[in-house]
Amino acid sequence: MSISPPPPAPAAAELGPTTAEQRAAKAAANRGEPTLDFTGISPYDAYVRASTLHTLQRPLSSEPGEMSFLMVSQIMELYFGLICFELCEARRALREDDLPAALAPLNRAVLHLTGLNATWHGLSWMTPADFNRFRDLLGEASGFQSAMYRRLEFVLGYRSTSLIRPFRRQPEVYQALVDEMRSRSIWDETIALLARRGFDIPHDLLERDFTEEHRPHEAVEAAWVTVYREDTPDLRRLGDALAQIAEGFSDWRYEHLKAVKRTMGEKPGSGGSSGVAWLQRSLARVVFPELWSARTII
């Protein structure tokens, strides 16, 4: 499981590359019409792999509504990976003290969260009767078992060693999650940046066991109170971007809870959880806690 771009593949013959001059010459030769003949697959398919993507939907039933459920789930998986990628880019930039470089991927992540949350609308038609037509065929399959969602939680700062147990028999996936748990979350890197900017952050908070979930600390809260009271421009922009990410992520979890209520009621979840009750407990957890508690003091 990777969220970093793979090494560039050998350039497909269908892709080029081309220059601006070559594109202008082609448009002139075509008299403004698009190119219709290629020696192999279309360059678009060579780049996007669209023909591969559209072979990945394999419903287990003949119920038409299952296609929505399956494809929306796959779209969400892609968004999880994209948001992870952006947050890891931002985390790297924060580690390098390059705050402007961190803000660009953070702002993109905010937009990706908007897209992710919009995918829930594709399932708003589903009632318990609709879901029950194919639910039994899913066995114990559950969104709880999404490794990329779990990695997204780890990058944001949620940590729990028990949550990687479902992936023990998938060595590469399991190791990626272990490595992520041992790394600083984006919130840990933000706290480290605050320390380098002169805020009084205890050393044991900077060098703690990162496999343990961060616990709110008054020194971090005090730092954010100062940032907002003194209107420190670059750090305030960082705080605002992180707050939008926290809101977007919380919105996704709330939309998940609503979807489960609408399609399952209080039934147990497919993966063995209590369903709604388990999601409600999860929803109570806060991303970037001191960023929110500081608002009470400001």
Residue set of the binding site for substrate: 135
Q: Which residues are annotated as a binding site?
A: 135, 256
**Pairwise CA distance, residues 145 & 131, whole Å:** 19
Q: Measuring CA to CA, which residue among 116, 118, 87, 117 is closest to residue 104?
A: 87
Query: Residue 108 is encoded by which pair of tokens?
Result: 């993109």
Q: Which residues are annotated as a binding site for heme?
A: 256
CB 119 within 8 A of CB 38: no
User: Strand, helix or coil at 50?
Assistant: helix
Burial string for 137-155 (b: 16+ CB within 10 Å, else e) reads: ebeeeeebebbbbbbbbbb
Burial string for 201-217 (b: 16+ CB within 10 Å, else e) reads: beeebeeeebeeebeeb
Q: Which region, left, alpha or beta, applies to residue 12 given φ > 0 means left and ψ of -120 to 50 means alpha?
A: beta
